[in-house]
Amino acid sequence: MAKAAKTAIKSKDQKAAAEAKNWTKVIKAVRSPKSGAYTFKEAIVHKDKIKDFLAEK
């Protein structure tokens, strides 16, 4: 039964599925100025804007 549901989802909205492949989850390590410890900043960004996200401070 799972295969039938999975197939139905793929065939209904292929355009949205193709668009979703253009987005990426990016995780950036950021150092805290007070303690020096690292924290992580996460975002889901369009694949064309990944370098901009990593370049910002």
Cβ neighbors of 10 (< 8 A, separation 6 or more) are 17
What are the domain boundaries of the chain? 19-57
Per residue in 21-30, pLDDT (tens digit) is 999 999 999 9
Which pLDDT does position 57 carry in this prediction? 76
User: pTM for the complete prediction?
Assistant: 0.61
pLDDT at 28: 96
Rounded Cα distance between 32 and 1, Å, is 49
Chain Cα centroid distance, residue 52: 14
| pLDDT digits 0-9 by tens, 3-53 | 665 555 556 677 877 888 999 999 999 999 999 999 999 999 999 999 999
- Inter-CA distances, 35 with 21, 27, 39, Å: 37, 20, 11
Q: What is the pLDDT of residue 9?
A: 59
Locate the DSSP E strands across 1-57: 23-31, 38-46
